Amino acid sequence: MISNIMKNNRRDFIKKSAGVAAATAAAVSVPALTGCSGTGSKQTILKDVQWPVLEGPDTPKLSKVVGRTERAMIDAKQMGIDYVHTGGGRLPWTVEGLREMQNQYREYGLNICNLMIGGHPNCIHGRPGRDEEIEMIKQSIVAAGAVGIPVVEWNWYIDRLSESYFYKEGRGGSGVTAVDYYRLVGDTMAKDLPTREGIDKYSAEQIWDNITYFVNAIIPTAEKAGVRMALHPNDPPMRISKGNPQIITGFDGWKRLLDIAKTPFHGMTFDSGISVEIGLDPIEVMRMMGDQMNHAHWRNVITYEPYNVYDEVFFDVGEVNMFAVMKEFINMGYKLYVNPEHERYFTRDGERENTNIGTPRLYPGGGGISGVIYNAAYARAMLQAAMSTI
């Protein structure tokens, strides 16, 4: 008797479940999310989405900065991260050195998708020795291409204004990163910090001359090697940093940079946070970058004064329409990597010894593993939702 009752209940449950599934499979209209405003036409959820919705060769892929420790690699894999980016080390990179690094990650089921390259201060400052730096960078790009690393990222700072960063308390006692061009650093506001000893003063056009020389020198090598170069925008994005202009900030500067060489192998890192920090619609920025968007940073901010005063916040409370940005990756056919970056600080991960963001150890995310997991989980949900809609 009990067995029959259980069978009948199970049969009823299956029938009801099938009815619910059929109802939810019907097309459901939801507002289309565009730009930062969340306005637009209707779009529908697909009837035949098969779960789980997985990343593949033709979709965006989540990635994270992952250290070369066993714990970091295990954490990344348990979060469902398959692609990592890290620093490539001293120049020039070699095939042997990069393969050794790759093998360390592959042992844990991870793949290097992006290496940050540095070691070119003479190029940035237009000093003697820049051609030697360029030669080492070209050798490194060739090595990256030989082992199948698809993206190499780089920066262009005369002197980064990291002193404008500091921590402030977020919801429930959490920690968020704040930026204020007017904050006091000792007796001086960050905006008035002088040019440091040993660093020259430049006009914007001098900096443009230097970066144009660099791009024209390395991009033919990158194209031949099959490696996409991605310049990260200046961050923080103030127009003047310690007495020198910053040129890789603002829509016009980004477009001018990309116009130096119109090829997908010369591109930028799109950053949704920086876009809103300077008062832009991130969707417009993405469309301007087009096939020169070679990497992506996905984060949220609240901006109080464009360029100068803003908070980097939890993904669910900022001004960036995070779903619109993720959906635009799909709309554009973007197949590269999205880093849900700058984790926030949860108190469960331990107390801070220093709340001054100027300390390099704390820049710029500075959260613990809880924040990393939060970012990855939020991004995965948004990516699956974006891949499930038309």
Q: What's the pLDDT tens digit per position in 255-282?
A: 999 999 999 999 999 999 999 999 999 9
Q: Which two tokens stand for residue 296?
A: 């992506």
pLDDT at 172 over 50: yes
Predicted confidence band at 161 (pLDDT cuts at 50, 70, 90)? very high
Q: Per CATH, the architecture of 47-387 is what?
A: Alpha-Beta Barrel (3.20)
Task: Say what the pLDDT of residue 23 is.
Answer: 35
Question: Shortest CA distance to 282 belongs to which of 293, 312, 291, 344?
Answer: 293
Cα 186 to chain centroid distance, Å, stands at: 32
Q: 114 - beta bridge partners?
A: 85, 151
Is residue 34 scored above 70 in pLDDT? no
Contact between 11 and 1 (Cβ < 8 Å):
no
pLDDT digit string, tens, across residues 59-81: 999 999 999 999 999 999 999 99
Q: Are the CB atoms for 283 and 33 separated by under 8 Å?
A: no
Mean pLDDT, the chain, rounded, equals 87
- Kindly compute the dihedral angle of the four CA atoms of residues 384, 387, 389, 390, in this order, to the nearest 10 degrees: 170
Residue 205, Cα to own-chain centre: how many angstroms?
A: 28
Show the beta-strand stretches assigned E in 77-221: 83-87, 111-116, 151-154, 165-169, 175-180, 184-185, 188-189
The interaxial angle of helices 204-225 and 130-146, nearest 10 deg, is 30
pTM of the model: 0.87
Evaluate if residue 389 carries a pLDDT over 70: yes
Q: Domain boundaries in the chain?
A: 47-387
Q: Taking a C-beta distance cutoff of 8 angstroms, is the pair 325, 286 a contact? A: yes
Cβ of 318: how many Cβ atoms within 10 Å?
22
Beta strand ranges found along the chain (DSSP E):
29-31, 42-44, 61-65, 83-87, 111-116, 151-154, 165-169, 175-180, 184-185, 188-189, 228-231, 240-241, 244-245, 266-271, 293-298, 300-305, 309-313, 337-340
Does 342 score more than 60 pLDDT? yes
